[in-house]
Amino acid sequence: MKDKKSYAVFGLGRYGMAVAEGLVRAGADVLAVDREEATVNAAAQTLPVCKCADATDREVMQQLGVKDVDVAIVAMAGELEGSILVTMLCKDAGIPLVIAKCANDLHGEILARVGADKVVYPERDSGVRLAKNLLSAGFVDMIELSDKAAVVEIAPPADWVGKTLKELELRRYHGINVVAVRREKSVDVRVDPDEPLRDTERLVVIASPEALKKL
């Protein structure tokens, strides 16, 4: 049994690079592939294993050794035909989990039919998240944990500024739990309930959707 999973990322655009770099930082074995030499040369500065290759070619895929990969990420949404071919070849090679980036619903449906185990819509999902943030007055950022809870970064309302968390009793009156305070570029998880809040600070809280709506 292998100690850790291995990954292959096909397509080193912004999304593919972000995924590959995140996996490498986490200590994973990552094979990064793109057909553009300039892109590969740039990626090689941060990714240990980069290959300039045409992943739509079956023989090339065999030479890359993708049959030994546990998870493939096909980040080629801008190349409809290419993403379909790479997805098919990944599944033909026996890769257990193939995740494909999609440009739209039709693209996602096609990729699912040719073998993608999971399809993702990063642009659409980030757009939905941005809309939620903008529509939630005072919310700086939001990460949904489930349909019952979310982690939210908020600017303290004006009537909170100058008061302490102990005075505000946010859990009792608003149903929210403060887990950290952001001050400029630092985040302090050791929240002092007796320290007055400043208008330059941001509170990181966990709350239910109902509590957030009321807030």
Domain count, the chain: 2
84 and 141 assigned to the same domain: no
What pLDDT shows up at residue 51? 96
Please say if the pLDDT value at position 115 is more than 70. yes
Contacts of 47 (CB under 8 A, 6+ apart): 17, 20, 21, 24, 30, 32
Identify the three-state secondary structure at position 132.
helix
DSSP codes of every residue in 11-31: --SHHHHHHHHHHHHTT-EEE
Q: Other CB atoms closer than 10 Å to residue 56's CB: what's the count?
A: 19
Predicted structure pTM score: 0.61
What pLDDT shows up at residue 25? 86
Please check whether residue 1 lies inside any domain of the structure. Answer: no
> What domain range is 20 assigned to?
6-123
CATH of the domain at 115: 3.40.50.720
What pLDDT shows up at residue 105? 86
What pLDDT shows up at residue 1? 44
Please check whether residue 77 lies inside any domain of the structure. Answer: yes
102 and 62 assigned to the same domain: yes
137 and 208 assigned to the same domain: yes
- The strand pairing partners of 141, in sequence order, are 153
